[in-house]
Amino acid sequence: MSGQVAQPTSGPAGSAQKSSTSTAPLMIEVKGLRKSYGPITAIADLNFSVRKGEVVGFLGPNGAGKSTTMKIITGAMAPTDGSVKVSGFDVFEDPIEVKKRIGYLPENPPVYGEMSVESYLRFVAQLKGVASANVGVQVERAIEKTDLGSVRRRLIANLSKGFRQRVGIAQALVSNPDVLILDEPTSGLDPRQVAEVRSLIQELKGEHTIILSTHILPEVQEMCERIIIINRGQIVAEDSLAGLTQRMQNSRSGLEVSVRLARPSAAVAQALGAVAGVTSVRLDAGVYKVQLTVNHMDAVEKLAEAAVATRAGLLELQHQAFDLEDIFLKLTANEDTAAVAAGGAQ
């Protein structure tokens, strides 16, 4: 957040992050992107843009086209059709200019086992065109940010998966690029390391424009300001987390409440069914799932009173709020069978 102020283009300091980024210039523009591998279409007509300083989560099931999209933005792959602009430069007309501005962490960290962490980062910095005088400084900065100081002289081949992944992140950071593209940055890490990487990305917010792909939902929830959900090569939703939740809430006509009782019985079910607004009650693994027609808390309160009045031993009453997982599942599952058919696309 502190980095936000340093941006000359962001709005007045102190204004909400959201409004400041909405006036920031476009950093990445993707238009009509299409990629097919022979008869298989990996991505079909993708359109989105990312503003400077934004952190965008790219979400989708495996094989949805996340990695393909990232490869195209970084110039590692050419699309079948469409255009990508990074910081105003077209990826296909000015690839060198674009690549100078991008740090990319592919699915597998691109490391050389026979090099030490430090010499590897030095190599990447030089390769990315960091001026000779700055190479040392940038390498130190990347090592410090990713907390690799303790292994800097070790051969990468001898490092654990978690450390290698961090070397991969350091590699993306080492040229201090405007845009960071991270393909599943936390894959293969243990929970503590995952937390570290998340806080690192939080730290990088504002300094860099970040796109990160993942299929781990809490990650997006925690780190991203905007979420793009992609399924079978198409964007199925694009909004902030709050916006998505709101949208799902609105699209839903009723509410489902789970009621767990110590002594479930048919009489209790009937009593619950008699509450105003309840359409159905079914027993699911010892828990009553009660459907309400209205999306209102008053009905939930009445239901609780009724449950207590039966004296069946109310243990738990929970109304289901939509979380990202539900949104994700709902948006991506309805075409499940078709998705399986195209599963080889990635």
Should residue 278 be labelled a site residue for another protein when binding is judged by CB under 8 A? no
- CA-to-CA separations, 223 to 42, 58, 199, 220, 342, in angstroms, rounded: 26, 11, 8, 5, 30
CB-nearer residue toward another protein: 81 or 114: 114
Q: Which stretch binds another protein (CB under 8 A): 94-102, 194-202, 243-251, 273-281?
A: 94-102
CB-nearer residue toward another protein: 85 or 226: 85
Q: Which stretch binds another protein (CB under 8 A): 50-58, 126-134, 205-213, 271-279?
A: 126-134
Buried b (16+ CB within 10 A) or exposed e, 29-40: bbeebbbeeeee
Q: Mask of contacts with another protein, 60-89, x by CB under 8 A?
A: -----------x--xxxxx-----------
Should residue 344 be labelled a site residue for another protein when binding is judged by CB under 8 A? no
Give the shortest CB-98-to-another protein separation in angstroms. Answer: 8
Q: Which stretch binds another protein (CB under 8 A): 11-19, 106-114, 139-147, 215-223?
A: 106-114
Using CB under 8 A, count the residues that bind another protein. Answer: 30
Cβ–Cβ < 8 Å for 287, 257: no
Should residue 346 be labelled a site residue for another protein when binding is judged by CB under 8 A? no
Should residue 7 be labelled a site residue for another protein when binding is judged by CB under 8 A? no
Give the shortest CB-96-to-another protein separation in angstroms. Answer: 5
Classify the C-alpha dihedral 285-290-295-297 as positive or negative: negative
What whole-number distance in Å separates Cα of residue 204 and Cα of residue 222? 14
Give the shortest CB-71-to-another protein separation in angstroms. Answer: 7
Residues listed for the chain: 346
Give the shortest CB-162-to-another protein separation in angstroms. Answer: 17
Of 27, 46, 111, 159, the one binding another protein (CB under 8 A) is 111
Should residue 133 be labelled a site residue for another protein when binding is judged by CB under 8 A? no
Should residue 226 be labelled a site residue for another protein when binding is judged by CB under 8 A? no
- Give φ, ψ of 102 to 5 degrees: -120, 135
What whole-number distance in Å separates Cα of residue 72 and Cα of residue 160? 29
Give the shortest CB-74-to-another protein separation in angstroms. Answer: 4
Of 19, 62, 112, 195, the one binding another protein (CB under 8 A) is 112
Instruction: Kindly calculate the radius of gyration of the chain based on its CA atoms and give it in whole angstroms.
Output: 24
What whole-number distance in Å separates Cα of residue 173 and Cα of residue 161? 19
DSSP 145-212: HTT-GGGTTSBGGGS-HHHHHHHHHHHHHTT--SEEEEESTTTT--HHHHHHHHHHHHHHBTTBEEEE
Cβ–Cβ < 8 Å for 271, 315: no
Of 26, 115, 271, 294, the one binding another protein (CB under 8 A) is 115
Should residue 127 be labelled a site residue for another protein when binding is judged by CB under 8 A? yes
Query: By the criterion CB under 8 A, which residues form the site for another protein?
Result: 71, 74-78, 95-97, 99-100, 102, 104, 106, 108-115, 119, 123-124, 126-129, 171
